[in-house]
Amino acid sequence: MALSNVLHAPAAGFNFDHAARNAELEGLFDAQIPKPVKTGTTIAGVVFKDGVVLGADTRATSSEVVADKMCSKIHYIAPNIYCCGAGTAADTEKTTELLSSNLTIFSLNSGRNPRVVMAVNILQEMLYRYHGQIGASLILGGVDCTGNHLYTVGPYGSVNTMPYLAMGSGDLAALGILEDGYKPDLELDKAKELVRAAIHAGVMNDLASGNNIDICVLTRGGVDHIRPYQVSQYKDKRKTKYKYGAGTTAVLTEKVVPVKLEVVEETVQRMDTA
């Protein structure tokens, strides 16, 4: 679709340039190739009466180390569309940024607000083209003139739409809560509580999900991105400031010596401001 791809139309067929390069690099390193940062996530979304609620945890892991304790997994796509991302952190970040840019340009070109289904189609086309090499599992939610929508796009380009969805390594835990608690046309508070409970289940039962919970509520009236909605009760107390106040070290003597400066040379250079 010409309008949504600004720089140039994507080449037809599959592009495996990087896959070939990665395969060749594998044998060359003696040490372990650094593992990409994965979001190892729990993300969930629920369609309620007046819109969509998206939720995510905030832990990003690099194998067994927590790389980021306050990672933002709910990405802005358009004023009325937000996207939760699970999988390889860089892939979800860049894919959603690319989508957001393209949709903004489309909006400017056509004078229309973007629709959720358009965002989904663009993502599906792109991810399918890369045949799974882009490790991004996304949950897109938004409100547009056609209603409240919630979609999930897998790394291979498959799309599913349901009133409630969960993705990431903690999805099974979250889905258990969602399957039990979901009802059509929930009120806002119940929907927020359901999503919070679902992410909390992921945080508690999945090692790769944790820390805080972010929530994003999308309605016709606007967006409420609450970061964090629930703070982890397991926080370490660390003084992040290590600056010592004046008076910590006793001053025994004080000697002030003024330094005389002479002007040795003065040059003036005109700046060309034509």
**162 lies in the binding site for another protein (CB under 8 A):** yes
Residues 29-48 within binding reach of another protein (CB under 8 A): none
CA dist., res. 177 & res. 199, Å (int): 9
First vs last C-alpha separation in the chain: 43
**105 lies in the binding site for another protein (CB under 8 A):** no
Interacting residue with another protein among 19, 67, 90, 172 (CB under 8 A): 172
Interacting residue with another protein among 3, 10, 14, 235 (CB under 8 A): 14
CA dist., res. 257 & res. 246, Å (int): 22
Interacting residue with another protein among 15, 109, 110, 158 (CB under 8 A): 158
Which residues on neighbouring strands pair with residue 147, listed in sequence order? 144
CA dist., res. 21 & res. 189, Å (int): 50
Q: Which CB, 43 or 71, lies closer to another protein?
A: 43
**160 lies in the binding site for another protein (CB under 8 A):** yes
Residues 208-227 within binding reach of another protein (CB under 8 A): none
CB 201 to another protein: min, Å: 16
CA dist., res. 158 & res. 97, Å (int): 20
CB 122 to another protein: min, Å: 12
Place of tokens 């004023």: 79
CA dist., res. 87 & res. 153, Å (int): 12
Token digits for 56?
């995510």
Residue 246 exposed, middle or buried by CB count within 10 Å (0-12, 13-18, 19+): exposed
Site string for another protein, 187-206 (x = CB under 8 A): --------------------
Residues 109-148 within binding reach of another protein (CB under 8 A): 124, 127-128, 131-132
Give the residue numbers marked as catalytic: 41
CB 113 to another protein: min, Å: 23
Which residues on neighbouring strands pair with residue 33, listed in sequence order? none
Q: Which CB, 164 or 229, lies closer to another protein?
A: 164
**76 lies in the binding site for another protein (CB under 8 A):** no
Q: Where are the alpha helices (DSSP H) in the chain?
A: 17-26, 89-110, 116-129, 171-181, 188-205
Q: Applying CB under 8 A, which residues contact another protein?
A: 14, 124, 127-128, 131-132, 154, 156-160, 162, 172
